[in-house]
């Protein structure tokens, strides 16, 4: 797809995109999420290639922040109640053209964000309300390679996916 060649910035939701959407709630109150290692590998390669990766999520678990920091993501916004305001502030402050952004979301809280970016995407198991507004639906579910799928497609389209050199 030609749209993959215009992307400079990835914005991802967490629950249902970077994770499988399941939460394990422990008696201690801790809520644990599962991340897919192959998504993390692609994130590291995208960052090394100079792409911007931004996380915007309503959830605010510190373990999530630590995982994202471990991957090298510095633009992590958790506990966000108003994604649109944060998006507008981010794009203005960082001088990012929304038409060069790939956003991946999976449910109703992502709807308005998906309508603002140049390349809206979602995992295969996204809400039926989200799929019709996306230009690309990954064949993979959230937390099971959907993030790797879109990163790899963008990097391949731009000639930056070079496994033989890694």
Using the 8-state DSSP alphabet, how is residue 79 labeled? S
Rg of the chain over CA atoms, in angstroms?
A: 15
Q: In whole angstroms, give the CA distance from residue 28 to residue 35.
A: 21
- Residue pair 113/83 in contact (Cβ under 8 Å)? The answer is yes
Q: Which residue has the tokens 């308005």?
A: 112
Q: Is 125 labelled as part of a ligand binding site?
A: no
User: Hey, CA dihedral for 108, 113, 117, 122, is it positive or negative?
Assistant: negative
Cα separations in angstroms, 156 against 1, 15, 20, 89, 138: 11, 26, 25, 30, 15
Q: Is 82 labelled as part of a ligand binding site?
A: no
Residue of 140, 123, 156, 139 lying closest to 13 (CA atoms) = 123
3-state secondary structure of 13: coil
Q: Is 75 labelled as part of a ligand binding site?
A: no
Q: Residues annotated in the binding site for Mg(2+), as ranges? A: 13, 106
Q: Residues annotated in the binding site for substrate, as ranges? A: 15
Q: Residues annotated in the binding site, as ranges? A: 13, 15, 106
């Amino acid at each position: 797809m030609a749209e993959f060649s215009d992307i400079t910035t990835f914005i991802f939701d967490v629950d249902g995109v970077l994770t499988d959407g399941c939460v394990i709630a422990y008696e201690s109150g801790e809520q644990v999420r599962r991340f897919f290692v192959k998504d993390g590998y692609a994130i590291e390669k995208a960052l090394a290639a100079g792409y911007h990766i931004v996380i915007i999520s309503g959830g605010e678990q510190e373990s999530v922040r630590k995982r994202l920091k471990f991957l090298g993501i510095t633009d992590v916004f958790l506990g966000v109640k108003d994604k649109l305001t944060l998006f507008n502030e981010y794009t203005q402050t960082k001088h990012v053209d929304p038409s060069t952004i790939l956003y991946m979301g999976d449910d109703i809280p992502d709807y308005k964000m998906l309508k603002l970016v140049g390349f809206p995407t979602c995992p295969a198991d996204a809400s039926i309300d989200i799929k019709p507004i996306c230009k690309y639906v990954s064949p993979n579910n959230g937390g099971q390679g959907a993030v790797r799928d879109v990163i790899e497609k963008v990097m391949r389209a731009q000639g930056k996916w070079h496994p033989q050199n890694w």
